Amino acid sequence: MSHLIAPSILSADFANLQRDIEMINESQADWFHVDIMDGMFVPNISFGFPVIKAIKKHAKKPLDVHLMIVDPDRYLQNFKDAGADILTVHLEACPHLHRTVQAIKGIGMKAGVAINPHTPAGLLSEIIEDLDLVLIMSVNPGFGGQKFIERTYQKITALAEIIKSSKSKALIEIDGGVDMKNYKKLIDTGANALVAGNTVFSSNNPSQTIADLKKI
Ligand code: DX5
Ligand code: ZN
């Protein structure tokens, strides 16, 4: 399987959201990456259900929704109703992660778990077979446009080993600081999906940048 590219809507122009959604529709991108921040789990607030619904109305590709919120269990059905196809929760925000993952799948979404830079991949070993996706944060969550943390490569290798030694079909997604200089090494190390916000939306030609990120 070729790697997937998920442009992050967080870096889009919110006053021209439909234009940016159409650009992604027409591009070689695979998913829409949708970041939800609550000002509690992370020191920033992004947007909520009305905006997700508005994105869903125009998006012709799956919505990859990344929850950076405390106690996500309260809102799983709301995210499904708003249009999420893949729902990713943070390990650090879920004391009953197994239950949360089952609930996400039970209402018809693919289930992902995200881990912060300080969280070892090994903490996922007991749940890896239940997951569709693991999102490795390669910056501290909360903001777009941050510097990539180099230690991420080691975590990809460790996670790929855990996936290989289990029956898991989980994809490895990398989120934060992905750029034209590191994307190939991330793929070579074992990443299956790359989120890109700043790299796509601050470029002169976002659609071409997405096409460039698809090249191997
Ligand atoms: C950060 C978010 C990312 C962010 C990535 O907390 O989870 O998805 O949009 O942005 P870039 O690619 O600019 O680092
Ligand atoms: Zn994200």
pLDDT value at residue 216: 87
Q: What is the pLDDT of residues 78-123, one digit of tens each?
A: 999 999 999 999 999 999 999 999 999 999 999 999 999 999 999 9
Best residue among 41, 146, 173, 174 to mutate for probing ligand 1's pocket (most ligand atoms within 8 Å of CB) is 146
The CATH number linked to 197 is: 3.20.20.70
Q: Is 20 a catalytic residue?
A: no
* Full domain range(s) for residue 104: 4-214
Structure tokens at 203: 């470029």
Q: Quick one: which of 92, 104, 93, 112 has its CA closest to 33? A: 112
pLDDT value at residue 108: 98
Q: Which residues approach ligand 1 with their CB closer than 6 A?
A: 8, 10-11, 33, 35, 66, 139, 141-146, 175-178, 195-199
The catalytic residue among 30, 35, 38, 132 is 35
Q: What is the pLDDT of residues 152-197, one digit of tens each?
A: 999 999 999 999 999 999 999 999 999 999 999 999 999 999 999 9
Contacts of 92 (CB under 8 A, 6+ apart): 41, 115, 116, 119
pLDDT value at residue 74: 98
Q: 30 falls in which pLDDT band (50, 70, 90)? A: very high
Q: Which ligand is nearest to the CA of 133?
A: 2
Sheet holding 32-37, edge to edge: 4-7, 193-196, 171-175, 133-137, 110-115, 86-90, 63-68, 32-37
- Inform me whether the pLDDT recorded for 1 exceeds 80: no
Q: 52 falls in which pLDDT band (50, 70, 90)? A: very high
Q: Can you tell me which atom of ligand 1 is nearest the CA of 179?
A: 12
pTM of the predicted model over 0.95: yes
- Inform me whether the pLDDT recorded for 62 exceeds 90: yes
pLDDT value at residue 128: 98
Q: What is the pLDDT of residues 123-158, one digit of tens each?
A: 999 999 999 999 999 999 999 999 999 999 999 999
Domain count, the chain: 1
